[in-house]
A and B are shown apart, each in its own frame.
Chain A
Amino acid sequence: MSRVPLERKILSENDRIAAELRARFQQHGILCLNLISSPGAGKTTLLERTLEGFVPGERVAVLTGDIQTDNDATRLARFGFPVRQITTGGTCHLDARMVDRALADWHVQDLNLLFIENVGNLVCPASDDLGEAAKIVILSVA
Protein backbone atom coordinates (compact mmCIF):
# COMPACT_ATOMS: atom_id res chain seq x y z
CA MET A 1 0.00 0.00 0.00
CA SER A 2 1.30 3.44 -0.75
CA ARG A 3 0.25 6.94 0.13
CA VAL A 4 0.15 9.52 -2.65
CA PRO A 5 0.26 13.14 -1.46
CA LEU A 6 -2.38 15.32 -3.14
CA GLU A 7 -2.00 18.63 -1.29
CA ARG A 8 -4.35 20.96 -3.08
CA LYS A 9 -7.53 22.84 -2.41
CA ILE A 10 -10.74 20.89 -2.86
CA LEU A 11 -12.55 23.77 -4.52
CA SER A 12 -9.62 24.79 -6.69
CA GLU A 13 -11.91 24.82 -9.73
CA ASN A 14 -13.97 27.63 -8.18
CA ASP A 15 -10.82 29.61 -7.39
CA ARG A 16 -9.56 29.15 -10.94
CA ILE A 17 -12.79 30.51 -12.46
CA ALA A 18 -12.90 33.33 -9.88
CA ALA A 19 -9.34 34.32 -10.79
CA GLU A 20 -10.34 34.48 -14.47
CA LEU A 21 -13.35 36.64 -13.62
CA ARG A 22 -11.20 38.93 -11.46
CA ALA A 23 -8.69 39.35 -14.29
CA ARG A 24 -11.53 40.15 -16.67
CA PHE A 25 -13.00 42.75 -14.31
CA GLN A 26 -9.61 44.37 -13.81
CA GLN A 27 -8.83 44.41 -17.50
CA HIS A 28 -12.04 46.34 -18.20
CA GLY A 29 -11.81 48.55 -15.12
CA ILE A 30 -14.94 47.12 -13.51
CA LEU A 31 -15.43 47.28 -9.76
CA CYS A 32 -17.23 44.12 -8.68
CA LEU A 33 -18.79 43.94 -5.21
CA ASN A 34 -20.28 40.81 -3.63
CA LEU A 35 -23.08 41.47 -1.10
CA ILE A 36 -23.61 38.79 1.51
CA SER A 37 -25.94 38.54 4.50
CA SER A 38 -28.60 36.47 6.15
CA PRO A 39 -32.10 36.59 4.60
CA GLY A 40 -33.97 39.83 5.25
CA ALA A 41 -30.95 41.83 6.43
CA GLY A 42 -31.35 44.31 3.60
CA LYS A 43 -29.19 43.39 0.61
CA THR A 44 -31.92 44.19 -1.88
CA THR A 45 -32.99 47.31 0.02
CA LEU A 46 -29.41 48.61 0.05
CA LEU A 47 -29.16 47.97 -3.68
CA GLU A 48 -32.50 49.70 -4.30
CA ARG A 49 -31.30 52.80 -2.45
CA THR A 50 -27.97 52.66 -4.26
CA LEU A 51 -29.44 52.28 -7.75
CA GLU A 52 -31.91 55.06 -6.99
CA GLY A 53 -28.96 57.40 -6.54
CA PHE A 54 -27.39 56.75 -9.94
CA VAL A 55 -28.17 58.90 -12.94
CA PRO A 56 -29.74 57.12 -15.93
CA GLY A 57 -27.10 55.75 -18.24
CA GLU A 58 -24.64 55.06 -15.42
CA ARG A 59 -22.67 51.92 -16.30
CA VAL A 60 -23.89 49.79 -13.41
CA ALA A 61 -25.44 46.32 -13.36
CA VAL A 62 -26.64 43.74 -10.84
CA LEU A 63 -26.51 39.97 -10.70
CA THR A 64 -28.83 38.72 -8.04
CA GLY A 65 -28.89 35.21 -6.65
CA ASP A 66 -31.90 33.44 -5.24
CA ILE A 67 -32.76 29.84 -4.58
CA GLN A 68 -36.12 29.95 -6.28
CA THR A 69 -37.78 33.26 -7.10
CA ASP A 70 -37.01 36.29 -9.23
CA ASN A 71 -38.56 38.73 -6.74
CA ASP A 72 -35.29 40.56 -6.14
CA ALA A 73 -34.59 40.96 -9.84
CA THR A 74 -38.07 42.41 -10.32
CA ARG A 75 -37.53 44.87 -7.46
CA LEU A 76 -34.18 45.99 -8.81
CA ALA A 77 -35.11 46.17 -12.51
CA ARG A 78 -37.40 49.17 -11.77
CA PHE A 79 -34.40 51.47 -11.80
CA GLY A 80 -33.61 50.85 -15.46
CA PHE A 81 -30.19 49.29 -15.06
CA PRO A 82 -29.38 45.79 -16.32
CA VAL A 83 -30.35 43.19 -13.72
CA ARG A 84 -30.06 39.47 -14.09
CA GLN A 85 -31.35 36.78 -11.80
CA ILE A 86 -29.31 33.68 -11.03
CA THR A 87 -31.67 31.02 -9.72
CA THR A 88 -29.61 28.42 -7.95
CA GLY A 89 -32.43 25.89 -7.65
CA GLY A 90 -31.58 24.73 -4.15
CA THR A 91 -27.93 25.63 -3.81
CA CYS A 92 -27.52 28.03 -0.93
CA HIS A 93 -24.82 30.33 -2.31
CA LEU A 94 -23.39 31.50 -5.60
CA ASP A 95 -20.20 30.07 -7.00
CA ALA A 96 -17.85 31.48 -9.60
CA ARG A 97 -19.16 29.22 -12.35
CA MET A 98 -22.72 30.57 -11.93
CA VAL A 99 -21.42 34.13 -12.21
CA ASP A 100 -19.33 33.23 -15.23
CA ARG A 101 -22.36 31.67 -16.96
CA ALA A 102 -24.62 34.58 -16.10
CA LEU A 103 -22.14 37.02 -17.64
CA ALA A 104 -21.49 34.92 -20.74
CA ASP A 105 -23.68 36.96 -23.09
CA TRP A 106 -23.27 40.30 -21.36
CA HIS A 107 -21.02 43.08 -22.58
CA VAL A 108 -19.21 43.38 -19.28
CA GLN A 109 -16.69 45.73 -20.85
CA ASP A 110 -19.51 48.33 -20.96
CA LEU A 111 -19.72 48.36 -17.14
CA ASN A 112 -17.99 50.35 -14.44
CA LEU A 113 -19.69 48.75 -11.48
CA LEU A 114 -21.13 45.29 -10.99
CA PHE A 115 -23.02 44.28 -7.87
CA ILE A 116 -23.48 40.63 -7.07
CA GLU A 117 -26.24 40.03 -4.57
CA ASN A 118 -25.53 36.65 -3.03
CA VAL A 119 -28.19 34.24 -1.78
CA GLY A 120 -29.45 35.23 1.68
CA ASN A 121 -28.27 32.54 4.00
CA LEU A 122 -28.56 31.66 7.67
CA VAL A 123 -26.53 28.50 7.88
CA CYS A 124 -24.16 28.00 4.99
CA PRO A 125 -21.09 30.12 4.35
CA ALA A 126 -21.24 32.40 1.34
CA SER A 127 -17.48 32.63 1.26
CA ASP A 128 -16.90 31.34 -2.26
CA ASP A 129 -14.69 33.67 -4.24
CA LEU A 130 -16.71 35.14 -7.11
CA GLY A 131 -13.91 37.27 -8.52
CA GLU A 132 -15.11 40.33 -6.59
CA ALA A 133 -12.86 43.20 -5.49
CA ALA A 134 -14.53 43.21 -2.07
CA LYS A 135 -17.34 41.59 -0.14
CA ILE A 136 -19.94 43.71 1.65
CA VAL A 137 -21.56 42.09 4.69
CA ILE A 138 -24.92 43.48 5.76
CA LEU A 139 -25.97 42.84 9.35
CA SER A 140 -29.41 43.33 10.79
CA VAL A 141 -28.97 44.27 14.45
CA ALA A 142 -32.46 45.53 15.19
Chain B
Amino acid sequence: MHELGIASSVLEAVRAEAQQHPGARVLRVGVRVGELAGVDPEALTFCFESLVKGTEFEFLALVVESTPRRHRCSQCDRTFAVVDYKLACPDCGETVTRCVGGDELELSYLEVETP
Protein backbone atom coordinates (compact mmCIF):
# COMPACT_ATOMS: atom_id res chain seq x y z
CA MET B 1 0.00 0.00 0.00
CA HIS B 2 2.92 2.39 -0.34
CA GLU B 3 4.00 1.58 -3.89
CA LEU B 4 1.98 4.49 -5.30
CA GLY B 5 4.09 7.03 -3.44
CA ILE B 6 7.26 5.32 -4.62
CA ALA B 7 6.02 5.21 -8.22
CA SER B 8 5.19 8.88 -7.93
CA SER B 9 8.73 9.64 -6.67
CA VAL B 10 10.17 7.75 -9.65
CA LEU B 11 8.00 9.74 -12.05
CA GLU B 12 9.03 13.01 -10.39
CA ALA B 13 12.70 12.09 -10.87
CA VAL B 14 12.06 11.18 -14.51
CA ARG B 15 10.29 14.48 -15.08
CA ALA B 16 13.21 16.42 -13.62
CA GLU B 17 15.76 14.45 -15.63
CA ALA B 18 13.73 14.73 -18.86
CA GLN B 19 14.02 18.50 -18.65
CA GLN B 20 17.76 18.07 -19.14
CA HIS B 21 17.08 16.44 -22.50
CA PRO B 22 14.68 18.74 -24.34
CA GLY B 23 12.99 17.18 -27.36
CA ALA B 24 14.11 13.67 -26.42
CA ARG B 25 11.61 10.88 -25.80
CA VAL B 26 12.14 8.93 -22.59
CA LEU B 27 11.58 5.25 -23.21
CA ARG B 28 12.59 3.39 -20.09
CA VAL B 29 13.44 4.08 -16.49
CA GLY B 30 15.39 1.49 -14.55
CA VAL B 31 14.99 1.02 -10.81
CA ARG B 32 16.71 -1.35 -8.41
CA VAL B 33 14.54 -2.93 -5.72
CA GLY B 34 16.12 -5.06 -3.03
CA GLU B 35 14.46 -8.13 -1.60
CA LEU B 36 14.40 -6.43 1.82
CA ALA B 37 13.09 -3.09 0.56
CA GLY B 38 9.50 -4.11 1.32
CA VAL B 39 8.36 -3.09 -2.14
CA ASP B 40 6.39 -5.38 -4.39
CA PRO B 41 7.71 -5.01 -7.97
CA GLU B 42 4.37 -5.95 -9.51
CA ALA B 43 2.44 -3.46 -7.43
CA LEU B 44 5.06 -0.81 -8.20
CA THR B 45 4.75 -1.45 -11.95
CA PHE B 46 0.95 -1.38 -11.73
CA CYS B 47 1.01 1.95 -9.86
CA PHE B 48 3.53 3.39 -12.30
CA GLU B 49 1.43 2.42 -15.32
CA SER B 50 -1.64 3.99 -13.73
CA LEU B 51 0.26 7.21 -13.06
CA VAL B 52 1.64 7.69 -16.56
CA LYS B 53 -1.62 6.86 -18.33
CA GLY B 54 -2.78 9.83 -20.36
CA THR B 55 0.36 11.85 -19.65
CA GLU B 56 3.33 12.66 -21.87
CA PHE B 57 5.03 9.65 -20.24
CA GLU B 58 2.36 7.19 -21.35
CA PHE B 59 4.91 5.09 -23.28
CA LEU B 60 7.57 5.15 -20.63
CA ALA B 61 8.32 1.68 -19.31
CA LEU B 62 9.44 0.93 -15.79
CA VAL B 63 12.13 -1.74 -15.62
CA VAL B 64 12.54 -3.27 -12.17
CA GLU B 65 15.79 -5.02 -11.35
CA SER B 66 15.33 -7.16 -8.22
CA THR B 67 18.41 -7.56 -6.07
CA PRO B 68 18.91 -10.29 -3.47
CA ARG B 69 19.63 -10.01 0.22
CA ARG B 70 23.42 -10.09 0.65
CA HIS B 71 25.42 -11.18 3.68
CA ARG B 72 29.12 -10.99 4.48
CA CYS B 73 30.91 -13.76 6.32
CA SER B 74 32.61 -12.73 9.55
CA GLN B 75 35.32 -15.35 9.03
CA CYS B 76 36.33 -15.44 5.35
CA ASP B 77 34.86 -12.05 4.39
CA ARG B 78 33.02 -13.45 1.40
CA THR B 79 29.84 -11.67 0.32
CA PHE B 80 27.03 -13.94 -0.84
CA ALA B 81 23.38 -13.81 -1.84
CA VAL B 82 21.05 -15.34 0.74
CA VAL B 83 18.58 -17.90 -0.60
CA ASP B 84 15.71 -19.28 1.49
CA TYR B 85 16.93 -17.59 4.69
CA LYS B 86 20.10 -19.71 4.73
CA LEU B 87 22.39 -17.26 6.46
CA ALA B 88 25.51 -19.42 6.90
CA CYS B 89 28.50 -18.79 4.65
CA PRO B 90 28.33 -21.15 1.64
CA ASP B 91 32.14 -21.29 1.51
CA CYS B 92 33.35 -21.91 5.05
CA GLY B 93 30.09 -22.69 6.82
CA GLU B 94 30.47 -19.88 9.38
CA THR B 95 27.07 -19.04 10.87
CA VAL B 96 27.90 -15.50 12.00
CA THR B 97 27.26 -13.41 8.91
CA ARG B 98 26.13 -9.84 8.56
CA CYS B 99 23.53 -8.32 6.28
CA VAL B 100 25.30 -5.89 3.94
CA GLY B 101 22.73 -5.30 1.23
CA GLY B 102 19.34 -6.02 -0.24
CA ASP B 103 17.30 -3.08 1.06
CA GLU B 104 18.10 -0.79 -1.85
CA LEU B 105 15.38 1.24 -3.51
CA GLU B 106 17.24 3.16 -6.16
CA LEU B 107 16.90 4.87 -9.48
CA SER B 108 19.35 3.23 -11.82
CA TYR B 109 19.10 4.75 -15.31
CA LEU B 110 16.95 6.51 -17.86
CA GLU B 111 16.88 5.56 -21.54
CA VAL B 112 16.20 8.45 -23.88
CA GLU B 113 15.76 8.58 -27.64
CA THR B 114 17.33 11.71 -29.00
CA PRO B 115 15.78 13.16 -32.16
Contacts and interface: CB of A to CB of B under 8 A. Distances in A.
Interface of A: 1-11, 13, 90-93, 123-125, 127
A3 B107 contact: no
State the majority secondary structure of interface residues on A: loop
Interface in B76-115: 103-114
Interface string B22-61: 0000010111000001100000000000000000000000
Contact of A124 (B1, B10, B31, B103): B1
B106 A4 contact: no
30 contacts: A1-B111, A1-B114, A3-B109, A3-B111, A4-B109, A4-B110, A4-B111, A6-B13, A6-B17, A6-B29, A6-B30, A6-B107, A7-B109, A9-B104, A9-B105, A9-B107, A10-B9, A10-B13, A10-B31, A10-B105, A10-B106, A10-B107, A11-B6, A11-B9, A13-B9, A92-B2, A93-B2, A123-B1, A125-B2, A127-B38
Nearest to A2: B112
A67 B92 CA distance: 47
Interface residues of B, number: 27
A103 B8 CA distance: 25
B65 to A, nearest CB: 13
A7 B29 CA distance: 11
B55 to A, nearest CB: 19
Interface of B: 1-2, 5-6, 9-10, 13, 17, 21, 27, 29-31, 37-38, 103-114
